[in-house]
Chains A and B, each alone.
Chain A
Amino acid sequence: DGGITQSPKYLFRKEGQNVTLSCEQNLNHDAMYWYRQDPGQGLRLIYYSQIVNDFQKGDIAEGYSVSREKKESFPLTVTSAQKNPTAFYLCASSTQAGETQYFGPGTRLLVL
């Protein structure tokens, strides 16, 4: 079955630690996205990538980094510079940028 997988489902971060969230898709989509969702709020775009080896900052990129070395994979690193990382992180993909997006199940990040 085609789809998007995110791992882990829950992730715990200690102060000063970098953590990486995984996102993999087997839909052969060119575009991939990372969003942050806080309780009772909508989605805010962190980074997006329209093609391999290229990505753009979204609205809240500070404290995050990404890579797009393979079409299928778009990992997100939450660095120690992100002072309020506790949130639900959603990865999505689409055939082309701006088209219908398909979402993964999300990763909930908590700070110890």
Chain B
Amino acid sequence: GDSVTQMEGPVTLSEEAFLTINCTYTATGYPSLFWYVQYPGEGLQLLLKATKADDKGSNKGFEATYRKETTSFHLEKGSVQVSDSAVYFCALRGTASYDKVIFGPGTSLSVIP
């Protein structure tokens, strides 16, 4: 079945460092891919998404490119801030499980001043 794998955390970075959180997926066809963010004690918010191969989703300085050849959707940001400290979830909507979104386990990010 469809699944999502993320790099294990927690990840700790200094302010202004470069961020990469790896995400790979298993799915048939061309799933839609998402990154959600969860700030402490809150629900999840959509950060960005991509619906077809080679699409780049971007928002708030974060970017991720849909790579069909490597089945990946890595999240990147050039310069993180303390306010980016949160848990990041990679997710997909598969063509087989079209009515559900499959979430990865989440990666916790802490940014220190």
| Main SS class of interface, B | loop
| Chain A residues with a Cβ closer than 8 Å to the other chain, count | 23
Measured CB to CB, the nearest residue on chain A to B99 is A97
Measured in the bound complex, the distance between the Cα atoms of B106 and A106 in whole Å is 17
Min C-beta distance of B108 to chain A, whole Å: 8
**Contact (Cβ within 8 A) A97 B49:** no
**Contact (Cβ within 8 A) A104 B34:** no
- Given A98-B101, A100-B34, A100-B49, check contact A43 B89 (CB 8 Å): yes
Contacts of B100 in A (CB 8 A): 45, 48, 58, 97-98
Q: Is B62 an interface residue (CB 8 A)?
A: no
- Given A43-B89, A48-B100, check contact A103 B34 (CB 8 Å): no
Min C-beta distance of A40 to chain B, whole Å: 8
- Given A43-B89, A98-B93, check contact A103 B45 (CB 8 Å): yes
Q: Is B17 an interface residue (CB 8 A)?
A: no
Contacts of A100 in B (CB 8 A): 34, 46, 49
Contacts of A41 in B (CB 8 A): 105-106
A-B contact pairs, 30 of them (CB 8 A): A41-B105, A41-B106, A42-B103, A42-B104, A42-B105, A42-B106, A43-B44, A43-B103, A48-B99, A48-B100, A56-B99, A58-B100, A90-B43, A92-B43, A92-B44, A97-B98, A98-B97, A98-B98, A98-B99, A100-B34, A100-B49, A101-B46, A101-B101, A102-B46, A103-B43, A103-B44, A103-B45, A105-B43, A106-B41, A106-B43
